[in-house]
Structures are given as structure tokens and as C-alpha cells.
Structure 1
């Protein structure tokens, strides 16, 4: 076996080109499942790894390590799947839809959907949980108003990712601050300069789309029929929302998200047994397999026919395979080569911003998960910030802009698959209407190239700089 060597730029480009060819050819031309395409990518990367002198056992370890690094997302998906199943059966989601139809006007709906989902996501710290509860409710309300599903999905996902970025309870927010070695609230403070204007502009755009472009196009009799169908099928009352309130309060008090979501799911099953006519065993079964309904309204039946752990199994398999791709690329040295290229290019804050966002997006595109993007964004570019003596709060902000918000834009990523599966709208269909995500990217690049809103280093970062300089002096000596 040869001594392992790093891939050249030419080999790296070949790997990336073959990745695109395999994914496009399998999904678009042959119409094969994404999972099979990613499995083929595993063996393609392994072939290059063997050529570069890596042993199979080394690559297998790297593959397993890549999967392990994304297990947090998989645990959340299992918990959220159970939550969706029991909250639909327990009447929580149907009650949200019912009250939403009675309160929100069609013209204000898109903006309201974004705001409601953002509040839910900030309070709970999870975009997946917000989409699986408030998001599903908003999809039902939007369709009842006659609004295009792709536009409603864009508003819902925009709101969910406001919370995913800005909540101190969000695992990606906490993980980014930790990897970037900055204080959590300084990280959120830095992101606010980007997220607040992006949120305001997106909210105005959704208000214009709802009140001007689609005003009056929806038939309100659909909304009325939906309310009647829900009332005939479910017990609708304010106390149906108690499980949602309990989960939000528990998460606000910073209790761990996975056990809290599972507890909320158990409350949903209890509510199904107490108020919706389910037997106890049947109610518990909804955690695993969800349930189906016949309200007489097709799109509501489709919307409510989801949830349960089994509902997430294909998504979980896809994420495992995508994380394996990331682990293999890291093992054969692809991330190291890209980091060296970016280090030469990052000569100012603009290029530094762009390279960090590209490194983060690389993790989403080739690693299939937000967790991977946070690792690639920080590990590939962090030294460039230290060399330029720029606060790492800019690093943490750029990593989230290139990684977290781009996750729902990639069809095979955890965010892309979850949103498409949960909301029932294809990733490529809702992407053009995910306005908050695009605004975050644009505003971040503008700030980078004009050197705007870059925080001063705090005492911790200055001490870190002093340690780095000391280590450099010793090594030179």
C-alpha cells in the first residue's frame, strides 16, 4: 500500500465533477432514489482514496466518523417524526389550522406564516420542530386560502430558519459558536446585523405577495369547508394546544431538545386517547406509524397523513449516506486541499466571507447536513481569520450564512429532505421562494466586501491571539 498523499486540484475537480454526474444522472435521468446515488458516490470516492494510497479500513473509519458527527440531527428527526404523528392524532396540529383560519386574513397570511414559524423556531430552537408543527398548520391554512403551496412553503421555511439561526437554544447556533471559539451571545449579536434586515425585507416581500399579487384569488369557501371538516373529524378546543405550550416552555428553560420533543410526543398520544377517541395502544402507535384521516377535503387528508418515526426512515437513511460522503472526503484530504486554496485567496474581508460561505456550502452539498457545513466552514477557514487578526464573530456569522440557511436549498441534505417530506413540496419547487435564505447570503456578502458590522475582538479572542503568537515564536525559535 502506498503512503497516502493529498489529492491534487485536478483529482479534486474530478471527484466533484463525478459527484454531480452521478447525482444528476441517477436522480434526473434514471429516476433512481437519491439514496442509491449517494451509495454509488461512496464507492467512487473510495476508488480515488485507494489510488491516493489510503487503506480501505482507514476510509471505513472516516466514513463512520462522518456519520457519527451527524447523529444529533438523526436523533432530532426520530423525535420530531414521533411528535408530528401524535400531535396530528391528538388534535394539536388540526386545532392550530382551525384557529389560524379563523384569525388570519388571506392578504396577511404569508407574512404571518413566516412570523409565526420564526417565533416557534426561536422559542423551541429547532427548525425541524417548527416546520413539523406550526409549519404543517400554516401549509393547511395557506392551501385553504387558495395560495400556491410553493409560496407558502417558502414563507414557512424562511420563518423556521430565522429561529434556527438566532435562537440560543438551537443546536446549530450553539455548535457554531463553540467551533468558532466565540461566546454564544456575541455570535447571535453578530448574526443579528444580517438576520434582522433579512427578516424585515422578507416579511415585507411576503406581505406584498399575499396582499397585492394573490389578494382575492383564493376562494374563502375552501377555508370554511376546511374548518367544518376539521371540526367534524377532531375535537377542537383551546386545551388541544396544551402539549405545544408545554414543549415551548420546557425548551425556553433550556432543557435538552430531544427528550423534550419526545415528552411532547407522548403528551400528543395522551391527548389522542383522552380527547380524540383513540384507544391507549392505538394512540401510542401513532408515535411510530402516524395515522390517516378522511375529512372529505383531499389536501387536508394528504397534509394530515404523515408523521410517526417510520415517516422519517427514508430521510434518516439519506442523511446517513450523505454524512458518509463527508467522512470519506475528509479522510482522503479533500477538505485540506480546499482549505489551502481558500487560504491563498482570502486576502480581504470580502474574499474571507465568500470563502467561508463556500466552505460551509461545500459541507451541505457534499456532506448533506448542517452539522457537516459547520465543521467544514470553521475547520477550513478559521486560521485565515487569525492571520488577518479579524474577530471570529465574523467567522461564526459567515459559517451560518453559508451553511445553516443553505441546508434547505440542497435536495439531498437533511434540511432539504425534511422540509420537502414534511411540507409536501419538492425542494426545487420552493427554493425560489425561500427569500430569507437568499437575503442572508446577499447581505452577508455585501457586509464582507464593504467591511461592515465587524465586531471588535473581546478579551477571550485577544488572549487566544497572544497564545497563537507565542506558539509561533517558539516554533520559529
Structure 2
């Protein structure tokens, strides 16, 4: 077995050194430097691998395990998907689709709490379409937060609504990196990864319940400011045309259960709709000056380039996971949990997944993708031995990392970015991020009562 080929000086526990170094860099970047650069975070992973190599007995086998982790089918699948979805995500960002939602709000006179609820709903749609929580935050805050100031919104609740809506999409979107990672790390008994469309379809009920409760709360608690007199001049109705590719992508993803087909349909519809409406020109897609040393522009190449930081992070994390697997650390961790009385039942196993997912995400400063990639293999082993369906495992993993860990005031990257974009203090931002808090309650209820729990054998018999 590969797990017996990698030995560390000091025992198998030394295999966690790369992960520990990675965590130190998370703290250093987020808490000390207040930086959210995924390239820098990936650097911490690679430095951790270099340091970890100093304690291994067989240096050649160590780096073979790193490459094996990076070259795993799950890793390559995630990388390819991220590059493809980058083009679609950038297309939506460049189209300024959020301007269409502002126009709607101004025309139907949504102000105060109802406007905050509308912003939450809009950010849910945008982030679900783009699959990018942080990308949606940077796109939505300049538009919605500024508009809220003249539409009578409570600043803290408005900021919380924007970030909550972005987290909603990050958790649910078929093209989200967390959805892709959570599905790809959960395997069926035949070795195939959980299909993304099936995961999203089974996840929808949790997101819908938490989302509806959050909308009501934002509508009740989101008002309190003054409404400006020139609100009618805001927004652009033409941008609503870009809902066409969003709808096309989502329908194709659900019906075909093929993410690449869905992206193709969404991208083609977006390009055609954008060109016909005048939102895009051909240079908007791809252009170059043709001069020596020029830079290529357009949302197609920019979309691919925008994913490089996330891809680099995926590579570093899968390299660390390769070391942990080769040293047998993952197997030992899973076996230790399985031997405890805590996981004798399905509920106990799911509670272990709950705690582990939250703690891992806290360790990584609320970086949900890194937490999923790290703890995902553990969830897969735990759930598979108890017969829990890959959809259920992926939903709990992705769901819980998007709850409590992302609202911790002085640790979560989401809180830090919201503070930077809104100018508010971390505590008020944290208390206003209602959707992650509500989602935690919904998912915990699901774990305790068994609502939505599926077993792979039962599903196979039904089908």
C-alpha cells in the first residue's frame, strides 16, 4: 500500500506539518496582513510541503506522494471545471447584471427593510449564476451598498444581506468551487464522484428553507434609514437581458446533470444575448492590439486568468492531501473516529461531520474551498463506511463550512472583506450575516431529525 511507503521521523503525526504550516500562513495573511490573496495562501501550502519534506525518511517518495495528490482525478477535474466556469463567471461580472436589479427596486419603490430583503435575493441569484461568492461581493457592494444609503437601508443589515446572498450562491451554485469540491471529494461505492447536478438538486431544500427565513428577517430588521429623492434615476433595465444565460445554465445543469454542457449553453446564450442587446461588442469577448508586449483582453481570457489563484490553491491543498494519504494519516484519523462511540449511529456520524467541517473551516479562516478540500476525504471515508449517500455527505460538508465559520468576527475572510468594502466594524457585520446563522440551524435540525438523510444502498435499490 502507498500508505506504508512514506515514513516520517517522529511518527506518522509529522505528516500534518505541511497542513500546520498552511494554517499558520492562513492566520498570518488574514489576521496580520489583512490579505485575501489566494496566490499567497497557496504559497503557504507549498512552503509547508517544503518544510514537511525535511522530516521525511524517503525524500523521493515524499515528492511522489505530493505529485500523486496533485495528479489525482479529483484534483484535475476541479482544475478543468474552474477554468471553464471562469469564462462564464467573468461574462456575468462584465455585463453589470446587478444594475438591472437596482432598476427594478427603484421602479417598484423598494425601500428600507424590503430593499435589504431584495438585495439579499438579488445577490443570491447573481452568486448562484456566477458561482463566485467573493467575486459577487466585489461586484455587488459598489452598487447595492451605495444604493442602500439613499433607499433607507440599515447599513449593517445591508452589508450582511449582500454577504449572506453571496454565501447562498457559493453553497448552492452548480459552478461554485465549493460545490465542485464537495461533490468531487464524495465518491460512490463504484469510485465515481458525486455528480454536481444531483448534489445541487438534493441541496436545494436546505438552501430554500434557510433563504426564505433570511428574507423575512432582513425585511423586518433591514430598515431605519432615510430615502433620497433622486432614486428614480438609478439602474439599467437593459442588464436584465443577462438573466437569459443564467436561466439557460441552471435549466441545462438540472436536466442534463452535465456541468460542461450547462456551461456551454450558458456561455453561448450569454454571448448571443450580450451582442444582440449591445451590452457586449466582439472585443468584449476577446481582443488584442497585436503589438509586441501587448495584453489580451476580453471576458474569455480574463475569465480563465481569474481562476488561476483558486487553481493554485487547489494544487497546493491536493499536494498536502497526497502526503497525508501516503503517510496513512487520513486512514488513522478516520479509524480513530469510527472506533469512538460517537459514530455508532448515522446521527453520530453526521454530527462528527458537522463538528469536523466547522472546525476545519475555522482553522482556515473561513476559506471554505480549502476546508472542503482538506476535510472532504475524511467525510468521504466516514460517510462511505456508514453507507451515507454521497449527495448527503457533500451537502453537509459544503453546508456547514458556510455557516458558523464564515461569521466569526476576527477570523473569517468573509467578515474581513465585508468590513473593507463597507467601512463597518467586524462585530456589526458578523451579527448581520443572517443566512449562514439560519443555515446552521436548518442543517443541524436535519442532522438531528434525519430530514433529507439518504443511504446509497437505498437509492440504488429505488433506481
Regarding TM over 0.5, the answer is: yes
Quick check: 1:323–1:369 contact (8 Å CA) kept in 2?
no
Q: Given the superposition, is the C-alpha separation of residues 436 and 320 from structure 1 closer, same or farther in structure 2, using an over 3 Å criterion?
A: same
Q: Corresponding residue for 1:298? A: none
Quick check: 2:22–2:44 contact (8 Å CA) kept in 1?
no
CA distance in 1, matches of 2:139, 2:33: 34
| 1:42 counterpart = 2:46 | yes
Q: Corresponding residue for 1:293? A: none
Q: CA shift at 1:164, angstroms?
A: 5.0
Partner deviation per Cα, 1:89-117 (whole Å, 9 max, x = no partner): xxx54343233222222231122222334
| 1:105 counterpart = 2:100 | no
Q: Given the superposition, is the C-alpha separation of residues 192 and 329 from structure 1 closer, same or farther in structure 2, using an over 3 Å criterion?
A: same
Matches within 5 A, 1:51-90: 51-52=55-56, 53-55=58-60, 57-58=63-64, 61-62=67-68, 64-65=70-71, 68-71=76-79, 72-85=81-94, 87-88=95-96
Q: Corresponding residue for 1:473? A: none
Partner deviation per Cα, 1:107-133 (whole Å, 9 max, x = no partner): 3112222233435566x4835587687
CA distance in 2, matches of 1:250, 1:84: 16
Q: CA shift at 1:165, angstroms?
A: 4.4
| 1:245 counterpart = 2:253 | no
Q: CA shift at 1:330, angstroms?
A: 0.9
CA distance in 2, matches of 1:186, 1:316: 24
Q: Corresponding residue for 2:435? A: 436
Matches within 5 A, 1:114-263: 114-119=120-125, 124=129, 126=131, 138-145=144-151, 147=153, 151-163=157-169, 165-166=171-172, 176=182, 179-181=186-188, 191=203, 194-210=206-222, 214-215=223-224, 217-221=225-229, 223-224=231-232, 227=234, 236=236, 238-254=237-253, 256-263=261-268
Quick check: 1:176–1:396 contact (8 Å CA) kept in 2?
yes
Find 2:25's aligned residue among 22, 26, 30. 22
Which segment is superposed worse, 360-369 or 337-346?
A: 360-369
CA RMSD of aligned residues (A): 4.9
Q: Corresponding residue for 1:266? A: 271
Q: CA shift at 1:259, angstroms?
A: 3.4
Partner deviation per Cα, 1:45-95 (whole Å, 9 max, x = no partner): 33213422343642552464376353223432343224322x13xxx5434
So what's the TM-score if we normalise by structure 1? Answer: 0.67
Q: Given the superposition, is the C-alpha separation of residues 288 and 220 from structure 1 closer, same or farther in structure 2, using an over 3 Å criterion?
A: farther
Aligned residues: 421
Q: CA shift at 1:208, angstroms?
A: 2.0
Q: Corresponding residue for 2:322? A: 331
CA distance in 2, matches of 1:64, 1:451: 38
Q: Secondary structure at the match of 1:4?
A: coil
Q: Secondary structure at the match of 1:253?
A: helix
Q: CA shift at 1:447, angstroms?
A: 3.8
Q: Given the superposition, is the C-alpha separation of residues 41 and 383 from structure 1 closer, same or farther in structure 2, using an over 3 Å criterion?
A: closer
Q: Given the superposition, is the C-alpha separation of residues 348 and 311 from structure 1 closer, same or farther in structure 2, using an over 3 Å criterion?
A: same
Quick check: 2:156–2:424 contact (8 Å CA) kept in 1?
no
In structure 1, list runs of 5 or more residues that go unmatched: 231-235, 291-306, 465-477
| 1:340 counterpart = 2:335 | yes
Quick check: 2:23–2:364 contact (8 Å CA) kept in 1?
no
| 1:384 counterpart = 2:382 | yes
CA distance in 2, matches of 1:310, 1:247: 19
Quick check: 1:109–1:142 contact (8 Å CA) kept in 2?
yes
CA distance in 2, matches of 1:426, 1:259: 39
Q: Given the superposition, is the C-alpha separation of residues 140 and 269 from structure 1 closer, same or farther in structure 2, using an over 3 Å criterion?
A: farther
Quick check: 1:26–1:33 contact (8 Å CA) kept in 2?
yes
Q: Given the superposition, is the C-alpha separation of residues 142 and 180 from structure 1 closer, same or farther in structure 2, using an over 3 Å criterion?
A: farther
CA distance in 2, matches of 1:105, 1:47: 55
CA distance in 2, matches of 1:444, 1:76: 28
Which segment is superposed worse, 180-189 or 22-31?
A: 180-189
In structure 2, list runs of 5 or more residues that go unmatched: 189-193, 254-259, 289-294
